[in-house]
Structure 1
């Protein structure tokens, strides 16, 4: 007799909502921006300017500091001021000071003329352009004012943000803790990639791909190895994640086979919030929470049961897991960007479920153009190769013609015009 899944089919939006409802920000920790690996960390505090930048009027160009009301009359050059020096002198009428970019403006001067608009001979300066007061001078607090919000909580630190922290003297800042994500492969047929594979077996690509995706999302990946299809072995692995991790990712074991044990185990140990999604590829994707012992003051373990097919596993990660990992670590903008793209070739939809098809998106002739990566089978990992977007294809019976527009989830940088994945360009299946 055919078995029916006990889990109702939920929409993509509903699945994402249920995940968001169970996200609790992780704790915070202090890092040394100058010595720790700060790039990619998310600020857990607002950072303000505590002193003006610049702290004194400074030259914006190499040239001469002078008085604008002297007009075009020749000036006598009385000194030179370099960056980092305090001049301790005054520019009187009829005089000028040679000055370098970033050097403080001497008293009496109210403008700087760039060196290319001057001629100096025997310490006499001839100006070749009319000046106004304030020309080529960086004023006090022009770049950062006292009390100005420099970086907001929830900002992901990159090169510019780390530079700003150094600029305002914040060598140590509070950031959200990175989620520890345990990754477990399941199945008697799964083998380590560098070991012997017996007939009918498969090499474990999912665990290593998922751990790489976790690291790219800012998490700390923890391998739990491969758990064979034994309820006690898989239960022990899930309990190990409960002791060590914030999030558990499993691959395989979530469909309707007699050896698909993950869903029943998650239901036994915790609460399954959904067990099927109207989504392709990845219909059996499962989300559960498992409470920790009362002696442990910690949020529940977030458990994602991902499909065993490698494409389904990675696409489900992108759509459901990655935003959760970014939210856990306080990212104010956890979602990948959505864009509108124009199809370069016909796209066939799935009849019963919205489908996230792999594509290469590039900017061509003023439009974002999308090319399929070829056959879209759930086992065909080559369809992920070179893809920088997931086309969101609504369910239906009518193909989308070349030139039609669809929404896409950007997962990488824009490709060069005309780029393809390098794999077959056959019609998606």
Structure 2
């Protein structure tokens, strides 16, 4: 058993410095080509350009009549009907019109479309109730997308509209960044599976399952490494197993100053510890390391605290942006907003704190409410939270109505 340490060998780095260090080691993984029509959630590794104009021919923007604007409001003889996929052939001359459906190609001779609501047809003759100009209610060639136009840029996280765009321009294969594989390891003699019978002082392993879910939400493939007891060789083998299977290893617990906190010494033995403490609450012992691997990029390792809230908050602040960067996301950070406090908040005197909050839109501004007691072990403080409130470590009391920055981690709440 190692002796109790009285002082950490790792200097305490500011949050922004810790984030800068991680960013320097979180380059996108290799690209791969996949089915574009099932690529939602993936991040483009290439610019997608349009091969052709959209629309490719002038088309009706509304249901109505295709006609010549120069004929004014004179009555027109209706030649027939054009539908979007019908393939009908006709040409519109002076004093003529064609009934036309939305999306149908404009017939030769016509230069405008009038809405059916602005006409009256009787006995094959349509009366126009409104003067027109050439181009009215017509989608022109290339109006939506010009040939060679940038449709989607590399770094775009693909959503439903993006999949629709890829289908629209006929892209059925697309190059994306590979998703990181993230392995999660829990540590501790006191930690047991959630379904196990436990004795006094033992705890159920909430961290590993919460972190696995968080990694999946961030777009990664997540694998569980189980629980490693407080034995240096057991944890060494578990860490090595994770490094062999994953791009990123996340450990839970074992990073503080106790005699059974083995993770930091093991990471220092196996790789390079870039920082071992961060000046923020909750999660001061958060650790970041890299481990070289033969034939592969260095693995990123995050040693997160054992307290459930500290673990998840540290994940949000440090791990999630790195996972998004590994996927090539051009915007890996959570959105940040200025919010007004619904009630006073007392800032800690020494370190900035990321307090759990519920942010809503009220009275024309964003308002933040605390989720209650902010203890590191109280996982309920994260339940329902949609933001992390950035409280400076200046010891001040911020009154109701004061404004602070917040990371928005979920949808806004409506009251």
Tell me the TM-score normalized by structure 1. Answer: 0.95
Q: 1:257-406 to 2 correspondence within 5 Å?
A: 257-293=258-294, 296=295, 298-406=296-404
**Aligned residue for 1:127?**
128
Equivalent residue in structure 2 for 1:33, among 36, 47, 51? 36
Matched, 1:252 2:253: yes
Separation of aligned partners in 1, 2:177 and 2:288 = 23
> Contact between 2:180 and 2:326, CA under 8 Å: does it hold in 1?
yes
For 1:65-94, what per-residue CA distance to the aligned partner results, in whole angstroms no more than 9, with x for missing partners? 001111111110011001123332110101
Report the Cα offset of residue 196 of structure 1: 1.2
**Aligned residue for 2:11?**
8
Over 3 Å counting, the alpha-carbon distance change for 1:2 and 1:324 in structure 2 is closer
| Counterpart secondary structure, 1:303 | strand
Separation of aligned partners in 2, 1:33 and 1:46 = 13
**Aligned residue for 2:22?**
19
Runs of 4+ in 1 over 3 A off after TM superposition: none
Separation of aligned partners in 2, 1:153 and 1:33 = 14
> Contact between 1:87 and 1:106, CA under 8 Å: does it hold in 2?
no
> Contact between 2:13 and 2:278, CA under 8 Å: does it hold in 1?
yes
| Counterpart secondary structure, 2:91 | coil
**C-alpha RMSD over aligned residues:** 0.9
| Counterpart secondary structure, 2:333 | coil
Separation of aligned partners in 1, 2:13 and 2:355 = 20
Separation of aligned partners in 1, 2:273 and 2:66 = 72
Separation of aligned partners in 1, 2:54 and 2:98 = 23
Report the Cα offset of residue 348 of structure 1: 1.2
Separation of aligned partners in 2, 1:8 and 1:19 = 16
Q: 1:27-66 to 2 correspondence within 5 Å?
A: 27-34=30-37, 36=38, 38-66=39-67
Report the Cα offset of residue 33 of structure 1: 2.4
For 1:339-377, what per-residue CA distance to the aligned partner results, in whole angstroms no more than 9, with x for missing partners? 000000011111110000000000001110000000000
> Contact between 1:87 and 1:104, CA under 8 Å: does it hold in 2?
no
> Contact between 1:85 and 1:104, CA under 8 Å: does it hold in 2?
no
**Aligned residue for 1:422?**
none
Separation of aligned partners in 2, 1:172 and 1:47 = 11
Report the Cα offset of residue 407 of structure 1: 0.5
Separation of aligned partners in 2, 1:19 and 1:286 = 10
**Aligned residue for 1:210?**
211
Separation of aligned partners in 2, 1:338 and 1:160 = 24
**Aligned residue for 1:423?**
none
Tell me the TM-score normalized by structure 2. Answer: 0.98
> Contact between 2:5 and 2:258, CA under 8 Å: does it hold in 1?
no
Separation of aligned partners in 2, 1:11 and 1:311 = 20
Separation of aligned partners in 2, 1:85 and 1:177 = 43
| Counterpart secondary structure, 1:150 | strand
Report the Cα offset of residue 203 of structure 1: 0.2
Report the Cα offset of residue 2 of structure 1: 6.1
Separation of aligned partners in 2, 1:116 and 1:48 = 38
Separation of aligned partners in 2, 1:304 and 1:136 = 57
| Counterpart secondary structure, 2:404 | strand
| Counterpart secondary structure, 2:346 | coil
